Chains A and B, each alone.
Chain A
Amino acid sequence: MYKITCDVAVIGAGPAGLAAAAAAKEQGAEKVLIIERDTALGGILQQCVHPGFGLSLFKEELTGPEYAGRFIEKVEQAGIETLLDTMVLEVRQDGMIYCTNSHYGITMVKAKSVVLAMGCREKTRGNIQIPGTRPAGIYTAGSAQRMVNRQNEMVGKKVVILGSGDIGMIMARRLTLEGARVVAVVEVMDYLAGLIRNRVQCLDDFGIPLLLSHTVTRIVGNQRVEGVYVAKVDQNRMPIPNTEEFFDCDTLLLSVGLIPENELSRAAKIEMDNVTNGPVVNQYMQTSAPRLFACGNVVHVNDLVDNVSTESMLAGKNAAKYAMGQLPLSKRVVVCQPGENVRYLCPQKIAVSNEAENITVYFRVKQPQKETALKVSCEERLLFEKRLPRVNPGEMQHICVPATSLSGKTLTVDAEKRN
């Protein structure tokens, strides 16, 4: 069995892994190793050939491969080692990683700290239980994106897209540009799931209809998809009888949500958050297993890659500090609690130490809301209030809290409706 030792091992070379590895090296970790299952660095960004990345981090508009390229260059220049075409089979709390590739066979990596950056996967037809037959021609939007952009394969000619997630809207445009007809984008909620700019640039500009409060109720076709039934839904997202309409199509794409890919984390028995489906982390992006850090979509699904990079740099930096024995010792823990109309907070815990630091807490709201008063409190004490003209579940928000202000045991964020 092939054996490697390193200071920081990063699992995954998508935007999260690349940023974490670069930051770990910059922080002074001597040997940083990235383990990636694909044959190249970059992760899903490699198939995101559209522009729109990097606006907040680089103040310019890049394509996915260009954005990844910025970090790949850093990683290569810093002398970070990579194991490509390698699948991690097991991660242990003691920093031992088992992985496999064709070249070295089963490889044991012993790391002082590990960054989990495996990203997420797409929800499937099975997850959301769409009734009907099981023909060819049903793809998740991301799979279709890989096939079109990396394998040069057209998935279909007449397409219905279920879900107004960003990848779905981007694929609506992509398939239209490639000569397919996108019949409609169907969204079960009464609001858009993805970013508004994507609706404008990917749907409106191409005259693709968006049907809010609708869903696919049945898939038809024995061999290949022959069509789908679409119905209006009520407030409980249940199809309204007699509103079913048949849409002729040969392909159904699904953009109905992402699930953090945490099979390795669960097998390592670290504490998980039932709302985000990711590991519980503190402000250092450290999980309940002190050696294991996590970042990016493995922790919570982000809408902008720039946020992933920022958060992952933090994880990489702190994983390096841990490996070098420099991570501040925690004196006590503050638990972050989602309040009114807040779905989750990330990090879920704050390790209060002697260091004065500003802590960024990310969150998503449950329901879209105009005129919102954002109230941040420590136990019963209001720390500050912030006014927001509009909040949306599709758009992640954040607040900054000075660690020195956290005298209590809990931090709560409420997104109240202003009167």
Chain B
Amino acid sequence: MRSTDVLVIGAGAVGCSIARELTKYQVRVLVVEKKEDVGGDASKANSAIIHTGYDASPDTLESQLVVAANPMYDKLTKDLDVPFSRIGGILPAITQEQYQKLPTLKEKAFKNRVYDVEYLSGKELLKMEPNLNPETKAGLYIPRESIIDPFLLVVGYAENAQQNGADFLLGTEVTGMHVEQGKITVVETTAGEISCKWVINAAGLHCDEIAAMVGKNDYTVNPRKGQFYVLDKNTSCKVEHIILPIPTKVTKGKLMCPTIHGNMLVGPTAEDLSDKEDRSTDAAGLKSVAEDVRHLIPNVNLRDTITQYSGLRPNRNPEGLHVDTYEDLTNYVNLSGVRSTGLTASASLGKYVAQTLLKLGMSAEMNPDFNPVRKGIVRFRELTREQQDEMIRKDPLYGRVICRCETITEGEIVSAIHSPIPARSMDAVKRRVRAGLGRCQGGFCGPRVLEILARELGVSAEEINKNDKGSYMITGKVR
């Protein structure tokens, strides 16, 4: 039987961050994930923002974790080689009603100890962001609201964890847990039984199902869908900040912001669902995004959309972010309600959960060999012509551009396939190096990436999936 000290269920941003943090200690860490790749669920479909926590409910664990996490990202993204930029957020007040809400919003930011929020006049805001609604009366500027590559954050955590000794079992689903004398002793998975000393439930959307296996389901996960548009990098109307609406009682509303790679992101909706698998977009949801965002940015050109997607926030009922431990189950930590702010909170949650384990009796002996630095794959398009030339001399595969929209070379794709957490599917390649994320959405590079994957993995193209089992790309050879 396989054994480990800490078993982390779920390889999203939070699970991978916890795994990385735990490798700072002398414990064996194993992450099990039912999907075929890390970050394959909520961590891949969100607004890719690192929040400050200015608008969290004050004095909650969520506020505490988000506010604490934001300053960590400068060093973290440098260590993990993850694209990140502190572009700042703007909340424009356009109507009189919104204008009157500004003082309350600022006060809330102060209660959350986000003191660098500033009032700016309509004139100042329009100077910073000429595409804002010209009727903007005034607004708040939140300088540390930031954007990140969410795919690479998860990959960065996971690969660094793995380099420091953590193991990952992907495509492996937890099916049950054995409890003896108030402790989980064995976790049953589709890859066999695993004995362990501690179990962390970071299963996101499915954390209630895991909790039910040990009778701790005093809550349910109610997915809240968010639909987004991604716009072409060359779209006619762009913004340089995260443009956030003044929240209403019902919703935080729909925003527009640049992605770290220069596209525009517009959305999301907030729709409560019962189906945890419903990641479909629909015409009504997208229409509501279009209508709402036009209030903020009247000239937004949604005809320049290159794709639309939806993600599911693992919302909790009753609400709130929880990290629970139990007197009658002493080696189990249950995370729930890690929703929109979860990407941000992943950095602090890793530390919080490690600390929780120390309290539960995990040995605090440090790992002297821990190396916080993970080197990512060279981004050819970001190099100078001289550096590009040098790179091609070292490895000629960097001279061949496969994805023309994003200028991604064969060298980068091959590196992704042979990276510490290898890319084994079309989407895994896409998330690591952006091949297929551009305006032609893989129309040109897709068939080529399929060939490269099959070649590098030594399998036939029929065995290559888009992402999970059953998402086969081709049905066979031409007769």
Contacts and interface: CB of A to CB of B under 8 A. Distances in A.
B478 A152 contact: yes
A142 B446 CA distance: 11
Contacts of A146: 447
A223 B389 contact: no
A156 interface: yes
A213 B461 CA distance: 37
B287 to A, nearest CB: 10
Q: Which of B234, B393, B409, B441 has the most CB of A within 10 A?
A: B441
B443 A121 contact: yes
Contact of A126 (B277, B282, B308, B451): B308
B478 A143 contact: no
B280 interface: yes
Contacts of B308: 126, 129, 131
A102 B397 contact: yes
Nearest to A238: B283
Contact of B286 (A85, A131, A134, A137): A131
B280 A132 contact: yes
Given A126-B307, A147-B474, A37 B401 contact: yes
Contacts of A85: 400
Contact of B389 (A1, A87, A140, A152): A1
Interface stretch (B58-66, B105-113, B465-473): B465-473
A153 B409 CA distance: 23
A201 interface: no
B474 A154 contact: yes
Contact of B404 (A37, A125, A152): A37
A319 B133 CA distance: 46
Contact of A136 (B280, B409, B471): B471
Contacts of A122: 440, 443
Contacts of A155: 473-475
A121 B405 CA distance: 11
A69 interface: no
A100 interface: yes
A36 to B, nearest CB: 12
B441 A125 contact: yes
Nearest to B442: A143
Interface residues of A, number: 52
A39 B136 CA distance: 54
A136 B463 CA distance: 13
Contacts of B281: 131-132
B443 A140 contact: yes
B351 interface: no
A147 B447 contact: yes
A127 B469 contact: no
Contact of A105 (B389, B451, B461): B389
Contacts of B469: 223
Contacts of A87: 400-401, 404, 407
Contacts of B230: 126
A106 B389 contact: yes
A98 B388 CA distance: 11
The 9 closest A-B pairs by CB, nearest first: A126-B307, A223-B470, A136-B466, A102-B399, A87-B401, A102-B396, A106-B389, A105-B392, A223-B471
Interface of B: 230, 234, 277, 279-283, 286, 305-309, 385-386, 388-389, 392-393, 396-401, 404-405, 407, 409, 426, 439-444, 446-447, 450-451, 461, 465-479
Interface of A: 1, 37, 85, 87, 89, 98, 100-106, 121-122, 124-127, 129, 131-137, 139-140, 142-143, 146-148, 151-157, 178-179, 217-219, 222-224, 250, 263, 266
